[in-house]
Copies of this chain bind each other. A is one copy, B any other.
């Protein structure tokens, strides 16, 4: 994102990331324990299901997907993680990551070692609250996904998905109507519990109806209102994901 060693204090994402509710002094202490590693390339793993749980990560640039493996080997994508969003907190309850995180494109992350995060949380009530809030947000997101997966049809799911991504980009200051999807159609279909072909068909149907315009991964939302209606949401409510893990 910037040249030498970046810091939370100067990071353009700090208003969205874990430092969210921290004052300057606290942020500095958080900054001290964060490790900034090499970028990881598309397709590489950040951590793997079953590995020992050692760190939580914040996406600085790029995007990740997280997925669990069923015992039959099928993968279920549980979330996409864009810049400023946390990854890995879902595994907090025991010693191993319950899911795998893979880069969708070249990605840089901030690594926050768990032991240090825990001892810092012991001292900083605000950080603690922020962590709990982030986990609560993740639970809300997952429960919205459960609703989507068990009650919505293909068009509703795709509409919800597009609006979710739109809102998340918008929150980071990017266009809410013109963006690039970092994940493949296959990933989208897996996430939404549909076949790839169904995703493709819904995209073209939406395009024919003038709701969206797509060219590969580039998407333009032309009629967000109708999309919101389709998704079964009001335009000011959440639609699946809330930005943090």
Residues of A within 8 A of B (CB): 68, 70-72, 74, 76, 78, 89-94, 98-99, 121-122, 125, 128, 131-140, 142-147, 149-151, 190, 192-193, 232-234, 237
Would you list 22 pairs from A and B whose C-beta atoms are within 8 A, ordered by A residue?
A68-B147, A71-B233, A76-B151, A89-B136, A90-B143, A92-B135, A92-B139, A93-B132, A93-B133, A93-B136, A93-B139, A98-B143, A99-B143, A122-B125, A131-B132, A139-B139, A142-B143, A146-B149, A149-B149, A149-B193, A150-B192, A150-B193
User: Which residues from B are CB-within-8-Å of A90?
Assistant: 136, 139-140, 143
User: Which residues from B are CB-within-8-Å of A133?
Assistant: 92-94
Chain copies in the assembly?
2
Contact A98 B140 (CB under 8 A): yes
Known contacts: A125-B122, A150-B192. The answer to whether A143 contacts B78 by CB under 8 A is yes
Q: Which B residue's beta carbon lies closest to that of A245?
A: B139
User: Which residues from B are CB-within-8-Å of A93?
Assistant: 132-137, 139-140
Closest 4 CB pairs of A and B: A150-B193, A93-B136, A142-B142, A92-B136
